[in-house]
Amino acid sequence: MADYLSESDPGTRILRRCDELAAISRPGTGVTRLYLTGEHRAAMELVSRWMREAGMTVHTDHAANVIGRYPPAAGGRNGSLLLGSHIDSVIDAGKYDGPLGVIAAIDCIAVLNGEGRRLPFGIEILAFGDEEGTRFGTTLIGSRAVAGTLTPQDLAIRDKDNISVETALRTFGLDPNALASAARSPGDVLAYVELHIEQGPVLEGEDLPVGVVTAINAQTRKVVTLKSEANHAGTVPMRLRHDPFLAAAEIALALEKTASGIPDAVGTVGQVDVRPGASNVIPGSVTMSLDMRARTDALLRRLTAAMDGEIERIAQARGVGLEVEPMLETKAAPCSPGLIGQLDRAIGGSGIKPLHLPSGAGHDGMAMNALGPIAMLFVRCKGGVSHSPLESVTAGDVTIAANVLRDFIIGFDPEKS
């Protein structure tokens, strides 16, 4: 125990453990730690050890989530405050996306336990096995198992080696038929609160170490295909062309303009495939991705409805064929105003201005929202960079964030969340 708190400031302790966890990776640049792999198992063992050293009892569920429990004071209420994040990664990831939230939460418990302090409610820390969806292409397997929203179809999804989630669970020594036992009941969950790097540039721009998330944005992804006849780049006069790439370009610009006109909405064209793809041929078809996100479902509907109209109009005006394929649709997960207020107070108590911002990236809270109120505390990261070995946070910011999280935990009032 004394060992756990051997360095005096939380930031130094937490970052040293982030380094230690990051060393558990597939060889290569940065961190690559995928769900239900040898690296995942080693990470689970290390996190379990830390949880025990911090004074928690530890178990693993049938979705390969690690769960540490810190019991309430005698006569404490039923239900737990859940904290945590994920310990899987993308390919060539940084050290902090996910692990920072798990390790900072464990550190808070280590401090409470070191002071012999119990609270009138139990605390559990969850280290989710899959949030990123890197291995199976479907995200949040860990937290959806806890929320009880995994479906049999999810278990049938296969990785690139044709191994299903179900088979991978079995090979890992788990029982897919017992997955339901990982699900928690809403009555059991007082709240779910996650500390995470911001993955964006807002806090850095505001010169603030931490911020409070208002909502995890709703998201829609579509694939738009525009079709015409490929033709000779030299012989067809401009006025007689039906160039699908120009339609795609116009759609991309319409997305920029439309998203810019809606508060906190963003729109991105990240993939464009031009066929046949020769410098001397007018394209015959273009496939493009549209990623659209907004703070609320209603704002996202405004964006997607406007874009549906624009896409239709542009394709028609340019005389190109049109196909639109929906790929993904997730609802916004609003953070609880009560929890936001409690985080604001903890931040204000550190003499820092509480800034509110939406989360443009998905998080485990999207699944945990099914169980109870959620909240997130964002930590400034250098240049807003994530999903890269260049991910960087400072020990000073992490100390502030861990102190805020601990103050929040100590003052947590389930009646006002």
Q: Site residues (CB under 5 A) for Zn ion?
A: 97-98
CB of 103 to Zn ion, least distance (A): 13
Q: Which is nearer to Zn ion, 104 or 307 (CB)?
A: 104
SS3 call for 390: coil
CB of 6 to Zn ion, least distance (A): 28
Q: Which is nearer to Zn ion, 350 or 388 (CB)?
A: 388
Confirm if 95 and 21 have CB atoms less than 8 A apart. yes
357 Cβ contact partners less than 8 Å away, ≥ 6 residues apart: 198, 200, 202, 203, 211, 212, 213, 214, 378
162 Cβ contact partners less than 8 Å away, ≥ 6 residues apart: none
CB of 116 to Zn ion, least distance (A): 33
For residue 115, which phi and psi values (nearest 5 degrees)?
Answer: -90, 0
CB of 49 to Zn ion, least distance (A): 22
CB of 98 to Zn ion, least distance (A): 4
For residue 12, which phi and psi values (nearest 5 degrees)?
Answer: -65, -45
For residue 4, which phi and psi values (nearest 5 degrees)?
Answer: -60, -35
CA atoms of 287 and 276, how far apart (whole Å): 11
Q: Which is nearer to Zn ion, 60 or 134 (CB)?
A: 134
Q: Which is nearer to Zn ion, 227 or 363 (CB)?
A: 363
CB of 140 to Zn ion, least distance (A): 10
CA atoms of 47 and 56, how far apart (whole Å): 11
Q: Which is nearer to Zn ion, 295 or 387 (CB)?
A: 387
For 359-383, give one letter per residue: b (16+ CB within 10 A) or e. Answer: bbbbbbbbbbbbbbbbbbbbbbbee
Q: Which is nearer to Zn ion, 10 or 98 (CB)?
A: 98
Q: Which is nearer to Zn ion, 196 or 227 (CB)?
A: 196
Q: Which is nearer to Zn ion, 98 or 334 (CB)?
A: 98
CA atoms of 353 and 384, how far apart (whole Å): 19
Helices (H), 277-382: 297-317, 337-349, 365-368
SS3 call for 309: helix
CB of 143 to Zn ion, least distance (A): 11
CA atoms of 95 and 208, how far apart (whole Å): 21
CB of 104 to Zn ion, least distance (A): 13
CB of 334 to Zn ion, least distance (A): 19
Q: Which is nearer to Zn ion, 97 or 250 (CB)?
A: 97
Length of the chain: 417
CA atoms of 398 and 394, how far apart (whole Å): 6
